[in-house]
Chain A
Amino acid sequence: AQSVTQPDIHITVSEGASLELRCNYSYGATPYLFWYVQSPGQGLQLLLKYFSGDTLVQGIKGFEAEFKRSQSSFNLRKPSVHWSDAAEYFCAVGPKTSYDKVIFGPGTSLSVIP
Chain B
Amino acid sequence: GAGVSQSPSNKVTEKGKDVELRCDPISGHTALYWYRQSLGQGLEFLIYFQGNSAPDKSGLPSDRFSAERTGGSVSTLTIQRTQQEDSAVYLCASTQGLNYGYTFGSGTRLTVV
Contact = CB atoms under 8 A, between A and B. Distances in A.
Contacts, number: 53
B110 to A, nearest CB: 16
The interface residues of chain A, by DSSP majority, are classed as loop
Interface string A86-98: 0000100011111
Interface residues of A, number: 25
B43 A99 contact: no
The interface residues of chain B, by DSSP majority, are classed as strand
A17 to B, nearest CB: 25
Interface stretch (A19-27, A41-49, A68-76, A77-85): A41-49
A90 B42 CA distance: 8
Most buried by B among A43, A46, A95: A43
Contacts of B35: 104
A113 interface: no
Contacts of A46: 101-103
